[in-house]
Amino acid sequence: MKKRVSKYVETAVAAVAAARGLDGADLPEIGIGLPREKAFGDFSSNIAMQLAGRWKDNPRAIGSALKDELDKESDLALVTIDGPGFINMTLDISCWHSRLLDIIGQGAEFATLDYGQGRRVLVEFVSANPTGPLHIGHGRGAAVGDVLARILKRAGFAVDREYYVNDAGNQMMVLGRSLRWRYLELLGHRSGEIPDGYYRGEYLLEMAKELRADQGDDLIVGNVNEEDVVGLEFFTKLAADAILLGIRNDLNLFGVEFEHWTSEKDFFTSGRVDVALADLKKQDVLYEEEGAIWFASSRFGDEKDRVVVRANGVKTYFASDIAYHREKYERGYDLLIDVWGADHHGYVPRLKAAIEALGNEPESFAAILVQLVSLSRSGTPVAMSTRAGEFITLEEVVNEVGKDAARYFFLTRRSDSHLEFDLELAKSKNNDNPVYYAQYAHARICSILRKIEEEGLEIDGTGNSTGASLTLPEELDLIKKLDDFTVVLESAARNLEPHRLTYFLDDLAAQLHSYYNRNRVINEDGKVSGDRLLLITAIRQVINICLTLLGVSSPEKM
């Protein structure tokens, strides 16, 4: 509807411009918004104020000229000029009734947009080292990335989800050593505290036990000294594979699936890192200093240059990441989105620099920074320390509070603001819990629909209803809210902000609950019942679409 109104205003502006003999070019974008006060109508535009400067006339005079044009439009029941020069427009009520029918007619396809125009997007998220189970912070990243992908898909992008497995580098060696240490401990070759820097989580102890049960004690050969590297590879691979499998399972439980899993190690072994570096060399942005090879990222806005090949000849993580992102473009993606922990924000400029140096538009890359999650239980903080190996895993959270609540909670804040996750709150089955608020609205509507069906109530069938009896302010507000979903979805996609969906849903649920308490759908008047049935059917449909986008279930009973 917003676009329709926007057209009317555009036409009016063109007409007035022509009448005044002004050039139609150089016009500002038509801004259409929802008025703060309902009394001001359905939509408002600030165009008259924007034109005032360019046309050298006062906003109210321009507004009044535009009003004369807009008054010719039959869909507009009322056009007024208010305040400093806002043009407020009220649509004919029948427009809203037909919009309701339109929304129902579109069914599950409602609010599928062509905003993305089929452009290909790669959303990379989680991408945790396979050195331990996912914790709650990863969970937030997973929820943000997954829902963002769903939103973009619905907004008309061709979306793939990808997990970049950071399976190269020192961390993996340490992982192998940690598992080996545990294994040797079982055989009595190690005792006391596991060395500093090693992974001390319980899971490695379990893994070592399974390994011993499976393979016996023979693995000791070539591994008895910490310095031995011959047999280390075996332990590293074993641990990484097992952990990665666990990660996949956790993510599946959480409702997240990836189209691609890409290994960092492969970039090194296949020589693709070298290819990327050669590319940079061709662009003349590499140089040697103090035995290392540097990328001149400061020429592209980074605060200093970065090493890509160390003096000892080992390529850095950054080098492989350049190769990885280079390949993303090569694979045909138009837009790259990386979801990272906010502590990596300092990494953004250098990667952007590399992307630009390789000839890509810097705007085609976006990093979504996700802030830390602090965990609490009934208000008291739950201590988490990765160092001590004490952390709450994603699996534990999902098991305790459920997938729906966990996902919803992760999306109740903007991703770059801290999130306090209260386990008891997420678990509570009462009105403190925002998840149930939305789901309950859905269940309530289903309950009404069930009642109608079960009792075979005689109300005008949907086919005969036109919505014409929906004249209460709260009924029209509900229709407008449903209509606004397309706007919300587009802005969530444009700004890469999935949390907008939970806020929209919360609002819609509130309106439904309020309406439910004041009005009865099943009514003595069959015509009214039929129209209201239409309304709640549409609401149910939008709630369902929204919950599905969030990856949260839509219960029919609660």
Which C-beta is closer to RNA: that of 172 or that of 208? Answer: 172
- The answer for residues whose C-beta is within 8 angstroms of residue 83's C-beta and 6 or more apart is none
DSSP 119-130: -EEEEE-----T
Give yes or no for residue 46 binding RNA (CB under 7 A).
yes
* Closest to 255 measured CA to CA, from 438, 410, 382, 113: 410
CB of 217 to RNA, least distance (A): 32
Q: Which residues in 101-120 contact RNA (CB under 7 A)?
A: none
CB of 343 to RNA, least distance (A): 4
CB of 48 to RNA, least distance (A): 9
**How many whole angstroms separate alpha carbon 343 and alpha carbon 158?**
29
Q: Which residues in 343-382 contact RNA (CB under 7 A)?
A: 343-347, 372
**Neighbouring-strand partners of residue 370:** 341
CB of 326 to RNA, least distance (A): 17
For RNA, what does the binding mask look like between residues 231 and 270, x meaning CB under 7 A? ---------------------------------x------
Which C-beta is closer to RNA: that of 34 or that of 186? Answer: 34
Q: Where are the beta strands (DSSP E) in 290-386?
A: 292-295, 306-309, 335-341, 365-370, 373-377, 380-381
Give yes or no for residue 186 binding RNA (CB under 7 A).
no
SS3 at position 380: strand
**How many whole angstroms separate alpha carbon 394 and alpha carbon 387?**
17
Q: What is the CA radius of gyration of the chain?
A: 29
**Which of 63, 69, 88, 135 touches RNA (CB under 7 A)?**
88
**Which of 238, 487, 489, 539 touches RNA (CB under 7 A)?**
487
Which C-beta is closer to RNA: that of 208 or that of 508? Answer: 508
**Which of 10, 11, 27, 40 touches RNA (CB under 7 A)?**
40
Give yes or no for residue 527 binding RNA (CB under 7 A).
no
Left (φ > 0), alpha (ψ -120 to 50) or beta: where does 148 sit? alpha
Q: Which residues in 446-485 contact RNA (CB under 7 A)?
A: 446-448, 450-451
Looking at residue 488, its amino acid is V
Q: Which residues in 268-327 contact RNA (CB under 7 A)?
A: 289-292, 303-304, 306-307, 310-312, 314, 316-318
Give yes or no for residue 170 binding RNA (CB under 7 A).
yes
Token output for 402: 């459920």
Token output for 200: 């001390």
Helix 232-253 and helix 394-401, axial crossing angle in degrees, nearest 10: 20
**Which of 363, 416, 458, 525 touches RNA (CB under 7 A)?**
416
CB of 519 to RNA, least distance (A): 5
Which C-beta is closer to RNA: that of 211 or that of 315? Answer: 315
**Which of 430, 453, 473, 524 touches RNA (CB under 7 A)?**
430
Give yes or no for residue 55 binding RNA (CB under 7 A).
no
Give yes or no for residue 541 binding RNA (CB under 7 A).
no
Burial 527-548 (b: 16+ CB within 10 A, else e): ebbbbbbbbbbbbbbbbbbbbe
**How many whole angstroms separate alpha carbon 434 and alpha carbon 499?**
13
